[in-house]
Amino acid sequence: MMDAYRAYLVSQGKAAHTVTAHCRDVTTFLGDLHCRPEDPVTPADVRKWIGQAVQAPTGQPLKVTTINRRLTKFLCLGHAPGRGS
């Protein structure tokens, strides 16, 4: 799935650094949720993740810009060919 997303970004003319950053954001977001790219993610999952990211009981809370960036990249994954949903 991530390979298809990476290929999609490249086909859209994204720079290598941008492709790497987008894939890292999606991987980090899904890792935080303990999900794979093909797993369903519900609005409740996203709300819980945002709450944890803002509260951050251990370490620094994420900045709003980081939260928005990761969510945006995850949503873009759904538009890449091969997503299957």
Query: Residue 69: which CATH number?
Result: 1.10.150
21 close to 72: Cβ distance less than 8 angstroms:
no
Q: Evaluate whether residue 83 is within a structural domain.
A: no
Confidence check: pLDDT of 13 > 90:
yes
Report d(CA 76, CA 23) in Å as an integer. 10
The pTM for the full model equals 0.75
Q: Give pLDDT tens digits for 25-34.
A: 989 888 988 9
Q: Which residue has the tokens 């873009």?
A: 76
Number of folded domains that form the chain: 1
Specify if 45 maps to a domain. Answer: yes
Q: What's the chain's average pLDDT?
A: 84
In a domain, 7, yes or no: yes
d(CA 71, CA 7): 20
Whether residue 40 is contained in a domain is answered as yes
Q: CA 24 → CA 19, 44, 49, 70, distances in Å?
A: 9, 23, 17, 9
Q: Is 82 within the bounds of a domain?
A: no
pLDDT on residue 79: 56
pLDDT of residue 49: 87
| 73 within domain boundaries | yes
Residue 18 lies in a domain: yes
Range of the structural domain that residue 11 is part of: 2-77
Nearest-angstrom CA–CA distance, 13 and 62: 29
Q: Is residue 6 one of the residues assigned to a domain?
A: yes
